[in-house]
Amino acid sequence: MSYLFTSESVSEGHPDKIADQISDALLDHFLAFDPESKVACETLVTTGQVVLAGEVKSDTYLDVQNIARETINNIGYTKGEYQFSGDSCGVISLIHEQSQDISQGVDRGDKEKQGAGDQGMMFGYATKETENYMPLALDISHRLLQVLADLRRENDEINYLRPDAKAQVTLEYSDENVPQRIDTIVVSTQHDEFDTDDGKMLAKIKEDIVGILIPRVKAQLPKNIQGLFDDRITYHINPTGKFVIGGPHGDAGLTGRKVVVDTYGGKGAHGGGAFSGKDPSKVDRSAAYAARHAAKNLVAAGVAEELLVQVSYAIGVVEPTSVSVETYGTSKVELSDGEIAKKVAELFDMRPFAIEERLKLRNPIYLETAAYGHMGKEPKTVKKIYESPYSGRVEKEVELFTWEKLDRVAEVKKSFKL
C-alpha cells in the first residue's frame, strides 16, 4: 500500500533562522581572526531586540553588535514596519569565557589527542532519491523557499513579500519506497498588507505562488522529478488567510530550534544536538558533517541505495564510543550492516581533530550553512573578507560544504570490491 511522507523547511527570515545566522556569523568572524577559537554562541531574537549569550575562548575581540546588525540587514529586515530591523533593534551581549572544566578535556598539547567537546550521538544520512543524495521532500521544500527569497529580492514579479516564510511538501510513495507524485504543498509567506480586502489578498498570493513560484522551482529539477508535479496537488497557501505580522515580532527565535530542517527533514535520524554557533570541537556539529560525508560517499559508491551512519562520543575522549550503519534493506554488498560499520570506521577517521583536518572545519565557512540546510549543498571555493575595528582586515579563500564532496568514492569501491 502506498504511503505519504512530509518534510518542511523555513526561510532565512524565520525567527529561528535569524538566530542561527547571527550565531554562525559571529563564529565565522572569530575563526577568521583566530582559527583556534572555541565558540558556543546562542542568539535570541524578539520584537526589536537581540540577545547574544554563550561561551567563547579566543585571542580576538569583535564588535558583536555590529555583526548581528549586519546579518539582520542582509536577511532583509530593514524596515521599521517589521518591528525588527538591523539598524534599530537593541543588541545585548552576554557572552563570556568558556568553562575551564570543558576546555581541559578538549584542549591537548598533541592536537591529535583532542577530546570530543561533548557526549552524544550524531547521524549522517544519504539516499539516491535526488542528485544531491538528499530526501526529496526536504529538497523541494528548501528550493521553494530559496526561490521565494529570490523573488522577494528581485521585487519584480511579486512585490509584496516579507522575509519570514515556511514551506512543507508531502510525497506519495509506492510500496517499493519510490516517490510517485507530490500530494500536498504548503507555503506560508509573510507579506505587506496591500489590499483592504483579506480575501483578495489571499487570492492574489495563492495565484502568484502557484503561477510564479512553483514553475520556477519545477524548472530547477530533473525531468523525472518534474513529472511528480501534477494537477492533483493540494495547495495550502497562507492557510490562516493573512500573514502580515511575522519575523521576530510575530514569534521569538532561538538558535538551534530547526535541527530537522537543518539535516534530513525527518528521514534517517537526528541526534538532537544543534549546529549553529558551535566551533568544530563540538562534535554535535563536526561529527554530524563527518557522518554525512561517509554516508554520501558510501551511497554514491553503490554500497546501498539508502544509508544511515551513527557515531557517538564521550566528552574529553578521543576515540568515538561507537560507529554503526543502517542500510534499510537496500545494501548491495554481501556484508551485514555491522560489517559495513567496521569498514566505515576504518575508512573514515572519526576522531575530533581528524574530522576538523579532513573537512577543513577551522575556517569561516558556517554562515552559508545556517539557512536552507547544512546538507545537500554544492561544495565550492570562495573568497571572504572580514573587517574588525580591533583586529584589522582578513581575506581568506575557503572551501564551503567539504562534507558534500564525493572524494572518497574510489576508496570506498576498492574497500567493498565494487
Work out the percent of the chain whose per-residue pLDDT is above 70. 96
Strand partners, 165: 189
Active site residue 356: no
Q: Which domains does the chain have, with CATH numbers?
A: 3-9+135-245 (3.30.300.10), 120-128+281-416 (3.30.300.10)
Active site residue 243: yes
pLDDT score of 101 more than 90: no
Read off the pLDDT of residues 18-69 as tens digits, 9 standing for 90 and up.
999 999 999 999 999 999 999 999 999 999 999 999 999 999 999 999 999 9
Q: Which residues are annotated binding-site positions for K(+)?
A: 42
Read off the pLDDT of residues 218-236 as tens digits, 9 standing for 90 and up.
999 999 999 999 999 999 9
- Give the model's pLDDT for residue 320: 96
At 114, is the pLDDT very low, low, confident or very high (cuts 50, 70, 90)?
A: confident
- Give the model's pLDDT for residue 386: 96
Residue where the block lists cell 549586519: 70
- Give the model's pLDDT for residue 118: 84
Active site residue 204: no
Q: Which residues are annotated binding-site positions for Mg(2+)?
A: 16
Q: Which of 36, 55, 70, 337 is catalytic?
A: 55
- Give the model's pLDDT for residue 1: 72
Active site residue 156: no
- Give the model's pLDDT for residue 107: 59
Read off the pLDDT of residues 162-195 as tens digits, 9 standing for 90 and up.
999 999 999 999 999 999 999 999 999 999 999 8
Give the least confident one: 99-113, 119-133, 244-258, 388-402: 99-113
Read off the pLDDT of residues 352-368 as tens digits, 9 standing for 90 and up.
999 999 999 999 999 99
Active site residue 258: yes
Residue type, 191: H
Read off the pLDDT of residues 312-330 as tens digits, 9 standing for 90 and up.
999 989 999 999 999 999 9
Active site residue 17: yes
Q: Which of 142, 162, 166, 285 is catalytic?
A: 166
- Give the model's pLDDT for residue 116: 84
Q: Which residues are annotated binding-site positions?
A: 14, 16, 42, 55, 98, 164-166, 242-243, 251, 257-258, 274, 278, 282
Active site residue 284: yes
| Widest CA span in the chain | 67
pLDDT score of 13 more than 60: yes
Mean pLDDT for the chain? 95
- Give the model's pLDDT for residue 196: 86
Alpha carbon distance 185, 318 (integer Å): 45
- Give the model's pLDDT for residue 106: 59
Active site residue 166: yes
Q: Which of 258, 358, 362, 408 is catalytic?
A: 258
Active site residue 55: yes
Q: Which of 5, 84, 123, 243 is catalytic?
A: 243
What is the mean pLDDT of the segment spanning 378-390? 94
pLDDT score of 102 more than 70: no
Q: Which of 17, 57, 343, 362 is catalytic?
A: 17
Q: Is the dihedral of CA 376, 377, 378, 380 positive or negative?
A: negative
- Give the model's pLDDT for residue 250: 93
- Give the model's pLDDT for residue 391: 86
What is the mean pLDDT of the segment spanning 366-388? 97
Alpha carbon distance 304, 217 (integer Å): 29
Q: Which of 251, 305, 337, 399 is catalytic?
A: 251
The pTM assigned to this predicted structure is 0.95
Q: Which residues are annotated binding-site positions for ATP?
A: 14, 164-166, 242-243, 251, 257-258, 274, 278
Active site residue 252: yes
Q: Which of 16, 129, 306, 368 is catalytic?
A: 16
